[in-house]
Amino acid sequence: MTGIQFPYEPDRDDRYEFKFFDAELLRALGRLTLNASYLEGVVATMFWRLLDNRDLEIGKRVTADANFRWLLDHVRALSEHRLPEDLHASLVDWLDRAQRAYARRSRIVHSDHAVSISPEKVHSLVWQRSTARPRQFLEEVVPATAEDVHAVAQELEAVGIEGVRLMTPVQDVVGLPE
């Protein structure tokens, strides 16, 4: 990597061979991962409460190994069955925001992370996405910026916190734990 310029502060962690990643991008990816897990946990907990708020162990056993899409679908189904129409509508609106935020997270997590070096030997990081599903092969290359990743991480966190706040009116309907 001699002679290559970095337009950012590269990570120099000696535990790893690749030491050219943007340190702030690595921090953002960590936040993205933690906040996505947090949101997934909030959605799972909402399911547990809707299923049986007096015995959350039942919900934990039902959701073991469930993926995010399954959780969203089943929270929506239980909400429709257990909650009054106005609260169900609020929950569905929240679930839609959760789904959109998680999709933005997946777009980052499931992209290829590539290194681009210009003729002037300026190093930059990009996300590469490609698909062969449509009639024609498609490829997209966009800059991998810490700001973009932080924005998605913050969205995941905000939607998760909103879900926690929604649990109070849900518990008012389904009953408080004993």
Kindly state whether residue 138 falls inside one of the protein's structural domains: no
Range of the domain at 95: 23-111+146-174
pLDDT mean by block of 10 residues, the chain; 178 residues = 72 86 93 98 98 96 98 98 98 98 94 78 80 91 92 98 97 87
Task: Look up residue 21 and give its DSSP letter.
Answer: S
Kindly state whether residue 118 falls inside one of the protein's structural domains: no
Q: List the structure tokens of 66.
A: 């469930």
Kindly state whether residue 133 falls inside one of the protein's structural domains: no
Kindly state whether residue 90 falls inside one of the protein's structural domains: yes
Q: What distance in Å separates the CA atoms of residue 159 and residue 18, rounded to the nearest whole number?
A: 33
Q: What is the count of structural domains for the chain?
A: 1
Give the pLDDT of residue 28: 96
Kindly state whether residue 10 falls inside one of the protein's structural domains: no
Give the pLDDT of residue 81: 97
What is the per-residue burial (b if ≥16 Cβ within 10 Å, else e) of 29-49? bebbeebbebbbebbbbbbbb
Give the pLDDT of residue 122: 64
CATH at 89 = 1.20.120
Kindly state whether residue 61 falls inside one of the protein's structural domains: yes
Kindly state whether residue 102 falls inside one of the protein's structural domains: yes
Kindly state whether residue 6 falls inside one of the protein's structural domains: no
Distances, alpha carbon 124 to alpha carbons 8, 119, 142, 157, 160, in Å: 9, 12, 11, 28, 32
